[in-house]
């Protein structure tokens, strides 16, 4: 646990140093969000709301999803893949440390910086310019926070597994891109999942992706409350457990393959 903390802190400090990149990213992020919301507003047209999303909800949806792009590394994360392909992985395996937790610790540090420098700032900026819906109770804020943490773990588990494909393929980046694209669709990043036909929503909810993004919006805007909220948090937790188990098992197979086939 101590080691986990040491890695997290150092990763946090390191990501804090990339300030120029953070500012540039922030600006892009802000305008990209405006572009996205214009499309959604055009779909809304003269109607009051679609599937529970009025103007304020749409702005909130857009602000939230923009705010957590970097937190969840939605646009791709290939660090582990690169380490496998460059052979750095060998020196990591020569250290007596848990491999999954080592990468998780670094990702937590990274995500914490992303949440502070990007997430909070984006939410504040959008609140300034647009009418939005915000949580109304301490309980709701807590639920959002818990859901955010679980979402990061789900996202990490998914990204870790996707990156492990590098052990099997020398050109796993394509697999990675495919995976991330699928995740945009099913997580509700391209459009709120409520806008899709019922059968698409049903399929989406068989995957972990809505639980990494869409549910955060639904909790934040108050669409998910009471037992449904509890149920959602539980499903998030189940996905975390499942993905981490899968990550450990796959990693073991991957390392076995590596030590038999050579790097």
Partner 1 sequence: MSIITVRNLRKEFKVSKHHRGMMGTLRNLTTREFTLVKAVDNIDFTIARGELVGYLGPNGAGKSTTIKMLTGLLTPTGGEVMVNGRVPHQQRQLYVQRIGAVFGQRTTLWWDLPVIESLELLRHIYRIPPDRYRQNLHEFTSLLEMESFLNTPVRSLSLGQRMRADICAALLHDPDLLFLDEPTIGLDVVAKERIREFVRHINSARGVTILLTTHDMADVERLCSRVMIIDHGRLLYDGRLQTLQDRFGGKRELVVDFAEPYPEVTVPGATLTHYHDLRATYEFERQTISASELIGLLSTQYRIRDLSVREPDIEGTIRRIYQEGLLTGDA
Residue 261 touching partner 1 (CB under 8 A): yes
Residue 91 touching partner 1 (CB under 8 A): yes
The least CB distance from residue 259 to partner 1, in Å, is: 5
**If you search the block for the tokens 């926070």, which residue do you land on?**
145
Residue 93 touching partner 1 (CB under 8 A): yes
Cα distance between residue 147 and residue 24, in whole Å: 28
Q: What is the 3-state secondary structure (H, E, C) of 69-99?
A: CCCCCCCCCCHHHHHHHHCHHHHHHCCCCCH
Cα distance between residue 182 and residue 184, in whole Å: 6
Residue 20 touching partner 1 (CB under 8 A): no
Nearer to partner 1, 92 or 182 (CB): 92
Q: In which region does residue 137 sit, left (phi positive, over 0), alpha (psi from -120 to 50) or beta (all else)?
A: beta
Residue 252 touching partner 1 (CB under 8 A): no
Residue from the set 24, 97, 120, 242 that interacts with partner 1 by CB under 8 A? 97
The least CB distance from residue 106 to partner 1, in Å, is: 9
Beta carbons within 10 angstroms of residue 91's beta carbon: 9
Nearer to partner 1, 87 or 226 (CB): 87
The least CB distance from residue 71 to partner 1, in Å, is: 20
Residue 88 touching partner 1 (CB under 8 A): yes
Q: Using the Cα atoms of residue 168, residue 169, residue 173 and residue 178 in order, give the sign of their dihedral.
A: negative
- The piece of 70-78, 118-126, 223-231, 254-262 that touches partner 1 (CB under 8 A) is 254-262
Cα distance between residue 191 and residue 91, in whole Å: 42
Residue from the set 19, 27, 87, 170 that interacts with partner 1 by CB under 8 A? 87
Beta-carbon contacts of residue 180 (< 8 Å; ≥ 6 apart): 74, 75, 76, 162
Residue 170 touching partner 1 (CB under 8 A): no
Nearer to partner 1, 97 or 234 (CB): 97
| 120 secondary structure, DSSP code | I
- The piece of 36-44, 62-70, 80-88, 196-204 that touches partner 1 (CB under 8 A) is 80-88
Within a 13 Å sphere around the CA of 165, how many CA atoms are in the beta-carbon half?
A: 16
Nearer to partner 1, 38 or 86 (CB): 86
The least CB distance from residue 200 to partner 1, in Å, is: 35
3-state helix, strand, coil in the chain (%, to 5): 75, 0, 25
Binding site for partner 1 (CB under 8 A): 2-3, 6-7, 10, 14, 86-88, 90-91, 93-97, 256, 258-263
């Amino acid at each position: 646990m101590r080691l986990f903390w040491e890695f997290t802190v150092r990763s946090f400090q390191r990501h804090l140093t990339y300030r120029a990149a953070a500012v540039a990213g922030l600006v892009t992020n802000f305008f990209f969000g405006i572009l996205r919301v214009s499309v959604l507003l055009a779909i809304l047209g003269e109607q009051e709301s679609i599937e529970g999303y009025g103007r304020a909800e749409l702005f909130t949806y857009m602000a939230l999803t923009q705010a957590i792009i970097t937190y969840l590394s939605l646009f791709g994360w290939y660090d582990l893949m690169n380490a496998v392909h460059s052979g750095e992985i060998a020196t990591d395996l020569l250290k007596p440390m848990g491999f999954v937790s080592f990468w998780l610790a670094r990702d937590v540090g990274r995500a914490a910086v992303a949440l502070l420098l990007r997430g909070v700032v984006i939410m504040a900026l959008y609140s300034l310019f647009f009418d939005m819906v915000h949580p109304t109770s301490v309980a709701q804020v807590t639920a959002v926070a818990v859901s955010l943490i679980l979402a990061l773990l789900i996202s990490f588990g998914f990204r870790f597994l996707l990156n492990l494909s590098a052990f099997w393929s020398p050109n796993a980046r394509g697999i990675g891109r495919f995976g991330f694209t699928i995740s945009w669709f099913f997580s509700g990043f391209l459009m709120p999942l409520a806008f899709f036909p019922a059968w698409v929503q049903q399929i989406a909810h068989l995957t972990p992706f809505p639980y990494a993004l869409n549910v955060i919006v639904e909790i934040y805007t108050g669409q998910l409350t009471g037992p449904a909220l509890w149920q959602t948090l539980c499903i998030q937790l189940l996905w975390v457990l499942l993905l981490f188990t899968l990550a450990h098992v796959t990693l073991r197979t991957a390392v076995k393959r590596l030590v038999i086939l050579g790097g």
